[in-house]
Amino acid sequence: QVQLQQSGPGLVKPSQTLSLTCAISGDSVASNSAAWNWIRQSPSRGLEWLGRTYYRSKWYYDYAVSVKSRITINPETSKNQFSLQLNSVTPEDTAVYYCARLYCTGGTCGGGFDYWGQGMLVTVSS
Amino acid sequence: QSALTQPASVSGSPGQSITISCTGTSSDVGNYNLVSWYQQHPDKVPKLMIYEVSQRPSGVSNRFSGSKSGNTASLTISGLQAEDEADYYCCSYGGSTTWVFGGGTKLTVL
């Protein structure tokens, strides 16, 4: 059974960096049949995919256009986890942040976001 | 990338069937069979109900089914039950290695 456990601060000041970590159990961050994603949810923006990382002989990174200039997702193989960093945050970045696994087979990641972290409310406020 | 369009709310009585639509464009829903659906109860984590347009993960009731025609995907719930009352979200591969969600539909079981 795959489990994702999120950690990180729940309050970030405007202009600072939001940092979250997602620890994986029951799978590997370097798995060839998964991609590891960050998704957020807010009343104003609904569910919003932010980005992903995955390993296929080398590491790949894909980011949503809306946050591409501010986001970094990093795998940490020694701890079997991956992280999210979002720079220069504003109150509009206030949301519940989720990590999620996207299942991939046969070279296609079409299996849906099948496992999710517990979600973390991150508030951007001074 | 614009969000996919879903009705804000739908309702049905126990035992009835309902369908939730999810309209995108020829760049996302219409171009890929990579539509998924999620159920979210209040203050809970989204749960995968359908992937690849019409595939059900293990453990999901066969009362849930998915389909697609052109740029519109649909989720049908048959034999509606009280426990089905939740928010439902569609999601599609949007091309250019991105994913896009719908705005969500609140299902009320009358």
Tell me how far CA of residue A125 lies from CA of A17, A22, A89, B74, B102, in angstroms. Answer: 12, 23, 9, 39, 28
Return the structure tokens found at B69: 């025609």
Find the radius of gyration of the CA atoms of chain B: 13
Q: Taking CB atoms and an 8 Å cutoff, what residues of chain B touch A112? A: 36, 48, 50-52, 57, 91
Average pLDDT of adjacent 10-residue blocks, chain A of 126 residues:
96 98 97 96 93 94 94 97 98 97 85 95 97
Residue pointed to by tokens 């620890």: A23
When pLDDT is cut at 50, 70 and 90, the band that residue B3 belongs to is confident
Greater confidence, A34 or B97?
A: A34
Pairing mode of beta strands B105-109, B9-12: parallel
Q: Taking CB atoms and an 8 Å cutoff, what residues of chain B touch A1? A: none
Residues B40 and B23: their CA atoms lie apart, in Å, by 20
Return the structure tokens found at B43: 């203050």
- A88 to chain B nearest CA, in Å? 22
Q: Up-side HSE of residue A107: CA atoms within 13 Å toward CB? A: 0
pLDDT at A107: 74
Q: How far is CA A14 from the centre of its chain?
A: 20
| Nearest chain A residue (CA) to B8 | A46
pLDDT digits (tens, 9 = 90+) for B7-20: 999 999 999 999 99
Tell me how far CA of residue B6 lies from CA of A2, A62, A73, A125, B9, in angstroms. Answer: 30, 26, 30, 31, 8
pLDDT at A108: 79
Tell me what the mean pLDDT of segment B21-35 comes to.
95
Contact B50 A112 (CB under 8 A): yes
Are A126 and A13 in contact by the 8 Å Cβ rule? The answer is: yes
Contact B100 A49 (CB under 8 A): yes
Which A-chain residues 34-93 have CB contacts (< 8 A) with chain B?
Answer: 37, 46-49, 62, 64-66
Spell out the residues 6+ positions from residue B67 whose beta carbon is closer than 8 angstroms to its own: B53, B54, B73, B74, B76
pLDDT at A101: 97
pLDDT digits (tens, 9 = 90+) for B29-69: 999 999 999 999 999 999 999 999 999 999 999 999 999 99
Return the structure tokens found at A41: 């949810």
Contact B46 A111 (CB under 8 A): no
When pLDDT is cut at 50, 70 and 90, the band that residue B1 belongs to is low
Residues A90 and A88: their CA atoms lie apart, in Å, by 7
- A117 to chain B nearest CA, in Å? 8
Contact A62 B102 (CB under 8 A): no
Residues A81 and A79: their CA atoms lie apart, in Å, by 5
Counting one residue from A and one from B, how many pairs have CB atoms under 8 Å apart?
59
